C-alpha cells in the first residue's frame, strides 16, 4: 500500500513483523511444552493423553488458521469510483473558503452512496489518497491508505482490522481464548503438583510457565473478545465506539445498528455453516464494504409508510422492512438536519 523508499522502508517493514513473530514463537513453544512435556512425559493415562491431544490440536489449528487469515488477508482498496480527479483536487486546494470546498465535495459526492459526514456536515475527503471516503472508511497512517470499515490498526497482526478480515480477527480472539482456557484448565493440576514439589522432572518449568502464560493471555483476551462481541451486536467499529459516526442529521452512535441478529450477520454472513470458520462470508443485503444499511433517518430520501414502518434501502435498490425506532418520530416532521 505505501511507497517504497529504499532500505529504511524495508527496515520499518521488517520491524513491524516483530509482534507477529513474538506471538508465533510463544505458540510454537506452547506446542512443545504441552505436547512433549505435558502429554508425552508427564501424563501417565493413555486415554487422558489421547483426549488432551485431540482437543489441543483442534483448538490450535482453528486458532492459527484464523490468525493466519487475519494477518495475510489483503484489504481491498477503495473502489476507483471514489477517486477524485486531479483537476478537482486542484479546485479543492484553490478554494477560497471552507464553504466553497464543501460545495465542491457535495457536487463530487452527489452520485456516490455516502451518508457519513465530517463534524461540520461536509462530505468526507482524504487529501492523502485524494478520494471521497466511503461510509465507515478511515485513513490508516500505518497502512498509508484509506481502509474500508476500518476497525483499528493492530500491530499484533501487522494489518488493519477492517471489513475484509474483521470476522477472522473475531474468530482469532475467540479461538485464542479457547486455546488459553483449555491449556490453563488442563495444566492446573500438574501446575499444583509441581508447585508443591510432589512432581519433578525436566518439564517442571515448562509446565509452570505454560500455566502462567495461558492464564495471563486468557485474562487479556477475555476482555478484548467480549468487548468486540458487544461492538458486533451494536454494529460499531472500535473507531466508531470512540467517535460516533456523523450523518447529515448529526452524530449517531447507533447509525448502523439494524438489530442484533442483522448486525451479527453483517459480520458473519448468512451461511450458518461458515459462521465459525475463518472463510470470508457476507450477507450481501447487509453491506458490501462500501455501502451499509443505515437507520432510516440517515437515508437521503427516506420512505415511510402509514404503518410507521420504515424502509431501509442499501443503495443498490434493495430494501428490507425495518422496525421503527423511537427516534424516527421527530424526523417525520422534516428532514432538516444540522
CA distance 312 to 288: 15
Instruction: Please state the closest distance from residue 128 (CB atom) to Zn ion, in A.
Output: 5
Q: Between 38 and 146, whose beta carbon lies closer to Zn ion? A: 146
C-alpha distances in angstroms, 247 versus 1, 170, 200?
29, 27, 64
Q: What does the per-residue mask of binding to Zn ion show for 96-135, with x meaning CB under 5 A?
A: ------------------------------x-xx------
**Is residue 160 close enough to count as binding Zn ion by CB under 5 A?**
yes
Instruction: Please state the closest distance from residue 78 (CB atom) to Zn ion, in A.
Output: 8
Q: Between 135 and 252, whose beta carbon lies closer to Zn ion? A: 135
Q: Between 149 and 295, whose beta carbon lies closer to Zn ion? A: 149
DSSP 50-114: HHHHHHHHHHHHHHHHHHHHHHHPPPPPPPGGGBPPHHHHHHHHH-SSHHHHHHHHHHHTTTS--
Is 102 noted as a catalytic residue in this protein? no
Count of residues interacting with Zn ion (CB under 5 A): 10
Instruction: Please state the closest distance from residue 146 (CB atom) to Zn ion, in A.
Output: 3
Q: Between 125 and 211, whose beta carbon lies closer to Zn ion? A: 125
Q: Between 147 and 177, whose beta carbon lies closer to Zn ion? A: 147
Residues with Cβ within 8 Å of 67's Cβ and at least 6 positions away in sequence, in order, are: 23, 157, 172, 176
**Is residue 153 close enough to count as binding Zn ion by CB under 5 A?**
yes
Q: What does the per-residue mask of binding to Zn ion show for 128-147, with x meaning CB under 5 A?
A: xx---------xx-xx--x-
CA distance 213 to 147: 34
What is the SS3 assignment for 338? coil
Instruction: Please state the closest distance from residue 67 (CB atom) to Zn ion, in A.
Output: 17
Catalytic residue among 129, 154, 160, 180: 154
**Is residue 291 close enough to count as binding Zn ion by CB under 5 A?**
no
Instruction: Please state the closest distance from residue 317 (CB atom) to Zn ion, in A.
Output: 28
C-alpha distances in angstroms, 299 versus 18, 88, 110, 248?
44, 26, 13, 9
CA distance 256 to 235: 6
CB 173 within 8 A of CB 221: yes
**Is residue 152 close enough to count as binding Zn ion by CB under 5 A?**
no
**Is residue 241 close enough to count as binding Zn ion by CB under 5 A?**
no
Three cell numbers written together for 7: 532500505
Catalytically active residues are 154
Residues that bind Zn ion (CB under 5 A): 126, 128-129, 139-140, 142-143, 146, 153, 160
Amino acid at each position: 500500500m505505501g511507497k517504497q523508499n529504499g532500505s529504511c522502508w524495508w527496515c520499518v517493514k521488517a520491524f513491524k513483523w516483530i509482534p507477529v513473530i513474538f506471538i508465533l514463537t510463544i505458540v510454537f513453544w506452547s506446542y512443545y511444552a504441552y505436547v512433549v512435556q505435558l502429554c508425552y512425559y508427564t501424563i501417565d493415562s493413555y486415554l487422558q493423553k489421547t483426549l488432551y491431544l485431540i482437543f489441543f490440536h483442534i483448538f490450535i489449528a482453528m486458532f492459527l488458521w484464523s490468525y493466519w487469515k487475519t494477518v495475510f488477508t489483503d484489504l481491498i482498496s477503495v473502489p476507483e469510483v471514489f477517486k477524485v480527479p486531479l483537476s478537482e483536487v486542484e479546485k479543492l486546494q484553490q478554494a477560497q473558503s471552507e464553504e466553497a470546498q464543501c460545495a465542491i465535495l457535495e457536487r463530487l459526492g452527489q452520485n456516490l452512496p455516502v451518508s457519513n459526514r465530517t463534524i461540520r456536515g461536509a462530505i468526507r475527503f482524504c487529501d492523502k489518497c485524494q478520494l471521497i471516503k466511503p461510509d465507515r472508511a478511515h485513513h490508516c497512517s500505518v497502512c498509508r491508505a484509506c481502509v474500508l470499515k476500518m476497525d483499528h490498526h493492530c500491530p499484533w497482526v501487522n494489518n488493519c482490522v477492517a471489513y475484509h478480515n474483521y470476522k477472522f480477527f473475531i474468530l482469532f480472539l475467540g479461538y485464542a481464548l479457547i486455546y488459553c482456557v483449555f491449556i490453563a484448565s488442563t495444566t492446573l493440576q500438574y501446575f499444583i503438583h509441581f508447585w508443591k514439589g510432589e512432581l519433578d522432572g525436566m518439564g517442571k518449568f515448562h509446565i509452570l510457565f505454560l500455566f502462567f502464560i495461558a492464564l495471563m493471555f486468557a485474562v487479556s483476551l477475555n476482555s478484548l473478545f467480549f468487548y468486540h462481541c458487544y461492538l458486533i451486536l451494536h454494529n460499531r467499529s472500535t473507531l466508531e465506539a470512540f467517535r460516533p459516526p456523523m450523518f447529515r442529521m448529526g452524530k449517531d452512535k447507533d447509525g448502523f445498528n439494524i438489530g442484533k441478529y442483522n448486525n451479527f450477520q453483517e459480520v458473519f454472513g448468512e451461511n450458518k455453516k461458515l459462521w465459525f470458520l475463518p472463510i470470508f462470508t457476507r450477507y450481501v443485503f447487509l453491506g458490501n464494504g462500501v455501502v451499509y444499511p443505515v437507520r432510516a433517518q440517515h437515508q437521503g430520501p427516506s420512505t415511510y409508510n402509514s404503518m410507521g414502518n420504515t424502509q431501509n434501502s442499501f443503495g443498490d435498490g434493495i430494501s428490507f422492512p425495518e422496525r421503527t425506532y423511537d427516534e424516527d418520530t421527530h424526523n417525520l416532521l422534516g428532514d432538516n438536519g444540522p
